[in-house]
Structure 1
Amino acid sequence: MIDRTQLSVFITTYNNGRTLMACLESVKWADEIVIVDSFSTDDTLAIGQRYGTQITQHEFMGYGPQKRMALAATTHDWVLLLDADEALSPDLQTEIRRLLEHKPTADGYEIPRQEQMFWRMYNPATRMNHYLRLFDKREGDIDDRPIHAAPKVQGRIARLKAPLYHYGETDIHTKVEKINAYSTGLVADKLKKQRWGIPLIMLFYPPLFFIRSYLFKRNFMNGWAGLINSVIAAFYVFLKYAKLYEHHQFAKHGTRLLPDDAPPLPSEYQSESADKP
């Protein structure tokens, strides 16, 4: 009998009832599934219980700390990180199970992610992003990035071939809401890095990012959905630096650029020290 490597799957959730069933269905064969939930109010918990997952609830601490808490709750050395709006393709399930049966030869594995892009899935010819998701936790942890916290591993990284499906951006409204929230969340991180030349970055980087997305990553293969996605992605890049620039302007001017008789409305970026005297 083959001494198979056991696998723990860990997931963080908050009101993911719409996508969680597909996620859990794709990993129900795993030896353990751990969920850390941020007090969902929909049917997320009921779905998790239906699949026999180990559920812990904790108030949201940030993406990195929340994922680290879920990772710490796993009991097996080999772990797979999934978002609640992701699911393993059938081919990926087979590829991972065979890998675990014959013992992993690397310390971590990157997986290509095939996105649902509004009304369609990525054309397979599109260049997909690869994400480190399957790894030996004795050699890795979750990094401290404020939004896109992800595993980091000391050791050899290999790539799997079959895709992970992502249902995070099922319509334009959802994608725009997400980039608005993410770009705001990244301001504090960029302040720590003391970015310079922000106006020039706002002017030149978004068009270059559009070209990279639409041409070099072959988003043109996705028709109008690919064009719309690339435009929104370039706007996301613009928003990150525009909000950083806005922060600096509030810190510099406060309300001094408003008319003297205009009652000022507060901003989350406004510095009290820069208010009108």
Structure 2
Amino acid sequence: MLATPPLARSNSDAEVRPGVSALIMTFNEEDNLPSCLASLTWCDDIVVLDSFSTDRTVEIAKAAGARVVQNAYTTENGQRMYGLTHVLFKHQWVYTPDADEVTPDDLRDEMLAIARDPSRPEAFFKARYKNMFMGKWIRHASLYPTWITRLVRPDKVRFDREVHSVCSSDMPGGELQAHFIHYSFNKGLHAWYDKHNRYSTVEAELAALNPPPLVHLAQIFSRRADVRRRGLKALVTRLPFRPTLRFIYMYVLRGGFLDGWPGYAYCRLISGYEFMIVLKTEELRRRERGLRI
């Protein structure tokens, strides 16, 4: 059910202008949204795609001059694709930050430079982020660099996968040199656990329904962080003691200990998330055999 009608079904006829629009997906983000919007004052076309928040999210968005479109949330990729295909944006390029992200000036300048160059062949750009925890950038424990698609041409891309959605296109992609700042714990540990409880359920369902992915050594030793991450994830799914191995990899091999106490705590949180996936996967497989957990 829609509280606000969609503005358009396609962006293919939108007037091409040398700027960048923004699309922010929200649900009860009154704690995060003000900082996100404050870092986007340079953007003259901000759309907040809201999943019927019950707090002040919509009020904050409208007060900042953003357009608000509401749509019932089903999956991450489904909601993102709804926004990219149903909203008519002012500009050809759309920046898609989460509400708990802040956009520094150097990232702004880089994206605007891309938008001013009509000869660019790319359909999307990925960016790295600085993950903040306990007032510190968790550089080592967070497996930096992690690349996430943040700048897209809506009519040229598609997002798949229910959590941690992945962008694909028939056109090439690129990488931004500047970072965005990610405050994933801004709403507190309770909210973080709640989100990862949902995510681990989806991850377990995918693992229970599909055979373990093939392990490719070329991926594991790739120089590209995203390719190497996929290879390591495929390897880890086939090994015992996954939560412990993930902690050792993050804290010892990747140098999480260099991030001090925040790094140790972060590694423990992520290994706990891995343990949730393992247990839920086993539960689903036992239930398929008619066994109790």
User: TM-score under structure 1 normalisation?
Assistant: 0.79
Deviation of 1:215 after TM superposition, in Å, equals 4.0
> Are 1:221 and 2:258 matched, yes or no?
yes
Q: Call closer, same or farther: CA 1:91–1:151 in 2, change over 3 Å.
A: same
Q: Which amino acid aligns with 2:69?
A: T
Which stretch of structure 1 is more off in the superposition, 37-46 or 206-215? 206-215
Q: Is the 8 A contact 2:93 2:115 kept in 1?
A: no
Deviation of 1:219 after TM superposition, in Å, equals 2.6
Count of aligned residue pairs for this structure pair: 251
Aligned-partner Cα distance in 2 for 1:120–1:250: 42
Partner residue, 2:71: 58
> Are 1:41 and 2:54 matched, yes or no?
yes
Aligned-partner Cα distance in 1 for 2:212–2:185: 29
User: TM-score under structure 2 normalisation?
Assistant: 0.76
Question: Which consecutive residues of structure 2, in runs of 5 or more, have no partner in the other structure?
Answer: 1-15, 214-236
Partner residue, 1:274: none
Partner residue, 1:138: 155
Aligned-partner Cα distance in 2 for 1:7–1:124: 32
Aligned-partner Cα distance in 2 for 1:28–1:68: 25
Question: Which consecutive residues of structure 1, in runs of 5 or more, have no partner in the other structure?
Answer: 256-269, 271-277
Q: Call closer, same or farther: CA 1:32–1:151 in 2, change over 3 Å.
A: farther
Aligned-partner Cα distance in 1 for 2:261–2:19: 43
Q: 1:176 aligns with which of 182, 189, 193?
A: 193
Higher relative contact order (CA 8 A, sep 6+): 2
Q: Is the 8 A contact 1:219 1:226 kept in 2?
A: yes
Q: Is the 8 A contact 1:110 1:160 kept in 2?
A: yes
Deviation of 1:179 after TM superposition, in Å, equals 2.1
Aligned-partner Cα distance in 2 for 1:233–1:187: 15
Partner residue, 1:107: 123
* 1:23-38 alignment, distance < 5 Å: 23-38=36-51
Partner residue, 2:6: none
What secondary structure does 1:246 align onto?
A: helix
Q: Is the 8 A contact 1:13 1:37 kept in 2?
A: yes
What secondary structure does 2:22 align onto?
A: strand
Q: Is the 8 A contact 2:131 2:139 kept in 1?
A: no
* Partner deviation per Cα, 1:102-133 (whole Å, 9 max, x = no partner): 44453321111111113423349972311111
Aligned-partner Cα distance in 1 for 2:140–2:281: 36
Q: Is the 8 A contact 1:35 1:56 kept in 2?
A: yes
* 1:1-277 alignment, distance < 5 Å: 5-72=18-85, 73-75=87-89, 76-103=91-118, 104-123=120-139, 127-143=144-160, 145-170=161-186, 171-195=188-212, 201=238, 203-254=240-291
* Partner deviation per Cα, 1:68-89 (whole Å, 9 max, x = no partner): 1111214233111111111212
Partner residue, 1:263: none
What secondary structure does 1:214 align onto?
A: helix
Identity %: 26
What secondary structure does 1:163 align onto?
A: strand
Q: Is the 8 A contact 2:205 2:284 kept in 1?
A: no
Deviation of 1:254 after TM superposition, in Å, equals 4.4
* Partner deviation per Cα, 1:24-72 (whole Å, 9 max, x = no partner): 1222322422222111111101111012222111222221111111112
Q: Call closer, same or farther: CA 1:10–1:36 in 2, change over 3 Å.
A: same
Aligned-partner Cα distance in 2 for 1:108–1:216: 32
* Partner deviation per Cα, 1:207-256 (whole Å, 9 max, x = no partner): 3322332245443331111111112212222221210101222333445x
Aligned-partner Cα distance in 2 for 1:29–1:84: 16
Deviation of 1:202 after TM superposition, in Å, equals 6.8
What secondary structure does 2:52 align onto?
A: coil
Q: Is the 8 A contact 1:35 1:70 kept in 2?
A: no
Q: Is the 8 A contact 1:39 1:58 kept in 2?
A: yes
